[in-house]
Amino acid sequence: MRTRKARLFILFVLVCILVVLLQQTVGMPFATWLQTLSRWVGQTASAGVEEPPAWSEQAAPDYYQVVGPAVLDAVPERGEVTYAPLDALGRAGRVVACVDAQLAEEGAMRERQNMSDIKPSGWGYNEEVDIPLPDGGTYHGYMWNRSHLLAKSLGGQEIAENLVCGTRMQNVGANRRGEEGGMAYAEKLARDWLNEHPDGWLYYCATPCYAGNEPVCRCVVVDMRSSDGSLDSEVVVYNAAKGFRINYADGSFAPQS
């Protein structure tokens, strides 16, 4: 009995030491580390849940919604990116990066790789559509994009582990300067902060959320926290398109009646 108590005490001391070291290294408060520990225990690399949040045009007219401060997992070394391996269903999982100005510049300057041979899970059924935009305009083009979890402009690669089958709205929203939507909203926040803080770094984590075994994600959760704490957001980006019903089980879609 005494031996068991001694082991538990030693384990408790080691955990406390680890928390203090991490807090000193990254500068996060103790409560944030407790929140992070909870997520480590309860979440997988590609979040497969029973029912991810559904898109609401009223709450997220340009397909993104800021829901609170970022929740951090393990922070990679500065300038590094980690990609979760494809799961048993071939789905991309979480991408975590510690982005600095050098990584972003290298990504922006690198020639874009040909993605035509990469088929994200759920890819296959695609055609041109007309989607009403929040400003009253209309997008005309293909419904599905090969959407990056970590943008090329932030150092992301054109590989299957970094791509999901995303609607045009999920990818870039209205795609107009000053009116960035979808993933482009979070990406612009990150780029703007890096441009203003060339000596800093930014934790950036993109987690696609699937319902059950569906191959197409319902949304992507983006967590961003800058090294100075001035940028600290969790953003839900919805994989939807106004006026269309999407079958996330096979990637097909049809106009709403």
The yes-or-no verdict on residue 254 having pLDDT over 90 is yes
Look at residue 56 in the predicted model and tell me its pLDDT.
94
For 46-255, CATH number out of 3.40.570.10, 3.50.50.60, 3.40.50.170, 3.30.470.10 equals 3.40.570.10
- pLDDT on residue 46: 55
User: For residue 13, what pLDDT band results from cuts at 50, 70 and 90?
Assistant: low
Mean pLDDT value of segment 159-181: 92
* Of 227, 131, 143, 220, residue with least CA distance to 184: 220
Query: Residue 16: is its pLDDT beyond 80?
Result: no
Higher pLDDT among residues 91 and 53, named by residue: 91
Of 160, 123, 141, the closest CA to residue 251 belongs to 123
pLDDT band at 78 (very low <50, low <70, confident <90, very high): very high
Q: In whole angstroms, how far apart are CA 172 and each of 81, 84, 176, 252?
A: 22, 23, 9, 20
pLDDT: which is higher, 37 or 98: 98
Lowest mean pLDDT segment, chosen from 4-13, 34-43, 116-125, 165-174: 34-43
- How distant is the alpha carbon of residue 240 from its chain centre? 15
Whether residue 146 is predicted with pLDDT greater than 60 in this model: the reply is: yes
pLDDT for res 177: 80
C-alpha dihedral, 213 to 64 to 251 to 96, nearest 10° = -50
- Has residue 238 got a pLDDT over 70? yes
User: From CA 22, how far away is CA 36, in angstroms rounded?
Assistant: 12
Residue-averaged pLDDT of the chain? 85
119 or 2, which is more confident: 119
In this prediction, what percent of the chain has a pLDDT beyond 70? 80
pLDDT tier for residue 19 given thresholds of 50, 70 and 90: very low
Record the pTM.
Answer: 0.80
Quickly state the pLDDT bin for 178 (edges 50, 70, 90): confident
